[in-house]
Structure 1
């Protein structure tokens, strides 16, 4: 049965003072602390994307497949993800609730479909935390050889080497201890650290771009060549190289995860979602070009194996290069923190609906810190396990990166597809934000943008999950590693089916969003699929 959604949302014209009442209309009490302002909201999305973290982590991989021409995967992925971000911005204005992707999907397609979307998103976020944490290996040993803890300072530190991969696990685990502690302490500390880290990252990107262009070895026209590409059909290599851009430009929706902790979220969150992606897209494009024009060589194999860290230390010298690499290390830490925060809010949002195992613990918010401590610890522990099982796997970087992004793209599809169906059935509700202004809307362009967003996502899911041995199986002969993306996605869905069925049986029916949260509050109507 379909319960029509209201055509308007009551605006909270007095701004911040009415945020609690606005949230109450959805059936939720204000448990999380509202300590996130506009810049911190932007920082949440920007630090999840974190161009310094992800470009440094996978620049070498992208170049090793597509050569200099792999640059063009960046504007291609940016254009596709911008379409997705615009769709998400509309939803963020109308449903400013933690667990954004789960909430949006549930309210568009029913809570059963939304549950699977949230489940896939949680698994993807846990893997993303792990992948972000191991990015320290691409930076710290280049800052100081003493950070190569496995095998000692003289051991091979390349992330795809045996000692490099194991050291990445050690550094990642140490970082997860720190980020989990910060998340437990409170969102205010997280917001301060994230905002400071983003400021440092933006300054670092600007400094890097200027410094590398000042040491250019060749002109920007090099991006029109395939110099340095792997052997094989170039289109196939180019598609494989798009993994880097796809991995970078996700997580802009994390500003939506913090909606219940953000001041004036209907007005703030939609803009910060789009702004985080746009700033990341422009900065990342300049950083890629700067790295290609400044690299000492595009053909000796060093750029493919050592990435941008090699370009920095060789062009800017030990002192200058290492100082900028410190900025990258800070960006890695802040990125890991932001991803873990986002994942914990998704777990919390599902758990408070009794839609997640151990819901009593995971759906509880500490009255002192205003944070979901159990959910934060779970995400950190899950990421640690994902790292630990890869101790002897030299493909940990590429395999985890591909897996986590494929999962996130699937979860995003769980929002954009039902959103497209909703548009054909009558569109989204109208209304005003906290300051009386019309909610963010794509207007008559909504259907076109949504159709293109879905088409792009489908192509990218197939591309990311494609069983490429060069991405998933560096052992050159282990079939289950080569097909690990497809096997992992299938396993996630099967496990999710049994978890969800057990949960429905235990609670004797489907999830009713917000029904258990605030006594006397009227839960927001949820459209069930016809």
Structure 2
């Protein structure tokens, strides 16, 4: 009887990381559930619904909810591309790392630069939007300065939790999303089944909102799609912790799918529930109710529900900020260890808890530096608009780079996840979706700005993305970080001569 040859042991996660040119510096302790929790917290059904419901209903009435399934479907296409990339190259700083292997140094650096500032300024927005709920616990009306100070306190709290490493971060985030998921599903179903004030016909009624806003029905729906995309953009947080996830090539794609689909379904459920349970949707269209979610919940459950609901929302915002801040820190760490980000020697540092402390401090400083914009409400609105546009721009650039590489034959997905020939079609559709959404978001609209808003808020998306791109181009011309990337200097540690692996 012939003996079978001994099995070759599967390479460890550290070996796979070394094959990609990097040392294992962060603590690899997350399972798939821990990775899902990071994505779920950043996508956050509560945060997402609060960000878009009032604007959506005021522009398109009860019919606004149909934009959400469309946006979710578009983001499913993006996850298809991300899954193939994350499976083959499970690295922190996915947008930068993948673009580098698909399209070259300058393109990759600009993609990473744009993504980093999008996420860091998104953290500013989340911290600022969380602060009113802190005051709501005590029934107080804060001044703009108080909102900014409390937002800074939230930022510092989340920084401290992140500094103690991935395990403490996972525990805090998991507790937050457990409370959020339970409350979201229970509240959504209860509103839908027992607290409805309207029939389902409301979901096809614009309530004359487009005419009130002075736009056509088609233009109103496009505006809602531009806003609705923000509710489904955090799944890439799963990629940020890829180097801390066991069996990352297989588990990170799974986590992205679970995070996006679970949050997406809850957001759609709650959007429908809030619209049907709201006592007076016309008041939202008229601008008399700026918080339709709370109005629907308190009307449906009674005044006793106000405080518990505030607690749930506050917990949701905090978990979202913690996870998103951790993702920003890991993205900066990924750029800095290649020596291609300002102050790389400091930003790439990892502390004794194996947390990317340098990236965490840098991300917190940038996010906090933008908080004084909250002293002027129209300025923080501009930041929100910019954040949405700047997040979709890297989606588009990365999907475009992947499609071109496929068509040229320089990249064939070689990881655990591959969609074969269908992958090319899905990739092309993802490019179409993200490209249209970038144009849609950047298109200047007075309908999405507060009455009497200054011109720069109407143009905020285009101006913000343009300024960040110009700053990035300036850094490319002056410091030329792409030279280090072409030369293979340093991948993983100072002085390393390892080159990035060739594209298959």
Using structure 1 for the length normalisation, give the TM-score.
0.87
**Aligned partner of residue 417 in structure 2, secondary structure:** coil
Please tell me whether residue 380 in structure 1 is matched to residue 359 in structure 2: no
Aligned mates of 1:252, 1:441 — CA distance in 2: 19
Offset at residue 137 of structure 1 (A):
4.7
Offset at residue 65 of structure 1 (A):
1.1
Q: 1:205 aligns with which of 178, 184, 205?
A: 184
Q: Do the aligned partners of 1:110 and 1:527 also contact (CA within 8 Å) in 2?
A: no
Aligned mates of 1:508, 1:128 — CA distance in 2: 29
Number of residue pairs matched by the alignment: 492
1:468 is matched with which residue?
A: 445
Instruction: Determine which structure has greater relative contact order: mean sequence separation of CA pairs < 8 Å that are 6+ residues apart, divided by chain length.
Output: 1
Aligned mates of 1:188, 1:503 — CA distance in 2: 36
In the TM superposition, 1:106-145 aligns within 5 A as: 106-137=100-131, 139-145=133-139
Q: 1:248 aligns with which of 205, 220, 231?
A: 231
Aligned mates of 2:280, 2:314 — CA distance in 1: 25
1:453 is matched with which residue?
A: 430
Aligned mates of 2:88, 2:369 — CA distance in 1: 36
Please tell me whether residue 190 in structure 1 is matched to residue 169 in structure 2: yes
Please tell me whether residue 272 in structure 1 is matched to residue 255 in structure 2: yes
Aligned mates of 2:8, 2:59 — CA distance in 1: 53
In the TM superposition, 1:6-21 aligns within 5 A as: 18-21=12-15
Q: Do the aligned partners of 1:92 and 1:269 also contact (CA within 8 Å) in 2?
A: yes
Structure 2, unpaired ranges of 5+: 1-6
1:312 is matched with which residue?
A: 297
Q: 1:410 to 1:526 in 2, by over 3 A?
A: farther
1:4 is matched with which residue?
A: none
The Cα offsets for residues 120-166 of structure 1, whole Å up to 9 and x where unpaired, read as 000100111112222225644544313x332xxxxxxxxxxxx5xx5
Q: Do the aligned partners of 2:72 and 2:264 also contact (CA within 8 Å) in 1?
A: yes
Please tell me whether residue 259 in structure 1 is matched to residue 242 in structure 2: yes
Q: 1:56 to 1:421 in 2, by over 3 A?
A: same
Which shows bigger deviation, 502-511 or 215-224?
502-511
2:459 is matched with which residue?
A: 483
Using structure 2 for the length normalisation, give the TM-score.
0.92
In the TM superposition, 1:49-60 aligns within 5 A as: 49-60=43-54
Offset at residue 346 of structure 1 (A):
0.8
2:313 is matched with which residue?
A: 328
Q: 2:142 aligns with which of 111, 127, 149?
A: 149
Q: 1:342 to 1:441 in 2, by over 3 A?
A: same
Please tell me whether residue 218 in structure 1 is matched to residue 211 in structure 2: no
Q: Alignment RMSD, CA only?
A: 2.4
Please tell me whether residue 34 in structure 1 is matched to residue 13 in structure 2: no
Q: Do the aligned partners of 2:130 and 2:314 also contact (CA within 8 Å) in 1?
A: yes
Q: 1:387 to 1:58 in 2, by over 3 A?
A: farther
Q: 1:13 to 1:41 in 2, by over 3 A?
A: farther
Offset at residue 310 of structure 1 (A):
1.8
1:355 is matched with which residue?
A: 340
The Cα offsets for residues 182-215 of structure 1, whole Å up to 9 and x where unpaired, read as 1112111111111221211110111111221211
Q: 1:297 to 1:520 in 2, by over 3 A?
A: closer
Q: Do the aligned partners of 2:489 and 2:498 also contact (CA within 8 Å) in 1?
A: no
Q: 1:212 to 1:144 in 2, by over 3 A?
A: farther
Q: 1:517 aligns with which of 490, 493, 503?
A: 493
**Aligned partner of residue 302 in structure 2, secondary structure:** helix
1:408 is matched with which residue?
A: 391
Aligned mates of 2:113, 2:464 — CA distance in 1: 13
Offset at residue 504 of structure 1 (A):
2.1
Aligned mates of 2:295, 2:147 — CA distance in 1: 18
Q: Do the aligned partners of 1:54 and 1:244 also contact (CA within 8 Å) in 2?
A: no
1:77 is matched with which residue?
A: 71
Aligned mates of 2:252, 2:8 — CA distance in 1: 17
Aligned mates of 1:167, 1:519 — CA distance in 2: 47
Structure 1, unpaired ranges of 5+: 1-11, 151-162, 433-438
Aligned mates of 2:348, 2:290 — CA distance in 1: 43
